[in-house]
Structures are given as structure tokens and as C-alpha cells.
Amino acid sequence: MHARATVHIVDDDDSVRRALGRILTAHGHMVSTFGSAQAFLEEADLDAGPACVLLDLMMPGMDGLMLQRVLQRRVPVIFLSGHGDVTRAVQAMQAGAIEFLEKPVSDTDLLAAVEKGCVCAADLFARERELRILREKIDRLTPREREVLTWVVTGIRNKQVASELGTVEKTIKVHRAHVMQKLEVDSLPALVRIADRMGLCAARREPPWPRPGPRMG
């Protein structure tokens, strides 16, 4: 069980928040509750660790769908509403909600949805943490080293990279060594994986040498 993900309950009905909180706490989940979308945005720390949101659809002021749009898929969202209809359910799911439950919901369905949300939350938080670490490593590179990285991962030789960048092969080798050291990798495939994750890849130009013509039969 991924119980260490916090479940944020956002519902304007105090009795619903208490009931949901009791059930989830009894099954080992960490829970925080908010009476409005605005309170959640002002008080919840979404960077503290993995989290999912158990979100009421109809609330005064900012409703559930509006809050979902503000969150922009930063955390998994589970909708729980007594006012659900097909149109709103479709909107919620298209916007990335992982479940849409209608009140009253059984403990079994609630816990299954929250468990799914916690698993998604843990995976999402791990990916975001990995990307944050990679961004920090990329930021260590000088502009020239970053440029060399984008060309090296295309698979062309150091001599060709030097030609593209208007320098000599020896200089490219030095930059390449610095890049690998700063990114803490020891192989080209590892560099390629990082560049792919971070969207760093130079656009290959057509080679300056002529292509072979068609064979004459």
C-alpha cells in the first residue's frame, strides 16, 4: 500500500470531510481536509511529498472542475460528488481525473479509488523529483557544453560536431568529457537518455557530402 501519499479532501460539507477522513485514516492514509478550493490552494503544500486530491464537484466559489484546471495535472484527482452527471464526469475524466465517484460511495469503492490515486501520486512525485534533479545537473553546464551535448547525442562523430560548431575535434572531446562529468554519466547511451528526458537534441542538417546517386540497372 502506498499509504505515505497524503490524501487532500476538498469538500464544503464539514460532515462529509469528517466521515471521509475517518475512513481513510482508519486504513492508514495521511489526510488533510479543506472546506473550499481556495483554502486548499492557499494552505496545501504540494511540493512536500506525493499527494492526491479527493475533490467535491459542486462547491461555492471555485468548483471542483475549476480547481482541477488550476492544478494542471500536478496531482491525481478523484472526484466525489452527489451532483454528478454524464457531461461533468466526461469533462473531469478528459481533464485527467483518475476516478469519478458519486455520493453515497461505498467504503470499498472509495478505498480502491484512493489507493489508485496514491499509487499515481507516488509515481508522479518520483518522476517530478527525477526531472528536478536532471534540471539541476543540466544547469551546471556552460552554454557551450550544453550545445555540445545536444549534438553529441544525435550520434554523429566528434569531428562532425566540431564542424557544426566551428571548432576543432580536440575541443569537442574536452567539452564532451566535462558534460559527462557534470551529468554524472559514463556512457553515450546514458547521455542520450538524459537528453531525451529533457528534450535536448539538435536538429540534424543535411550532410555536406553528396549522396550516392541511384544505381543504373
Calpha distance 93→156 (Å, rounded): 43
Global pTM exceeds 0.85: no
Which residues does 46 contact at the CB level (< 8 Å), separation at least 6?
74, 75
Instruction: Supply the DSSP symbol for 82.
Output: S
3-state helix, strand, coil in the chain (%, to 5): 50, 10, 35
- Does residue 125 contact residue 50 with C-beta atoms inside 8 Å? yes
For the beta carbon of residue 191, count every other beta carbon within 10 angstroms.
19
Q: Of the candidates 50, 49, 108, 109, which has an alpha carbon nearest to the alpha carbon of residue 79?
A: 109
Which structural domains are found in the chain, ordered by start? Answer: 6-133 (3.40.50.2300), 140-198 (1.10.10.10)
Which residues does 201 contact at the CB level (< 8 Å), separation at least 6?
150, 153, 154, 195
Instruction: Find where cell 575541443 sits.
Output: 171
Residue 94: per-residue pLDDT: 86
Residue 208: per-residue pLDDT: 40
Region label for 58, one of left (φ > 0), alpha (ψ between -120 and 50) or beta (otherwise): beta
Calpha distance 77→8 (Å, rounded): 10
pLDDT by residue, tens only, the chain of 217 residues: 444 899 999 999 999 999 999 999 999 999 999 999 999 999 999 988 999 999 998 899 999 999 999 998 899 999 988 766 777 788 888 888 999 998 889 999 999 999 999 999 999 999 989 999 999 999 999 999 999 999 999 989 999 999 999 999 999 999 999 999 999 999 999 999 999 888 887 655 444 434 444 444 4
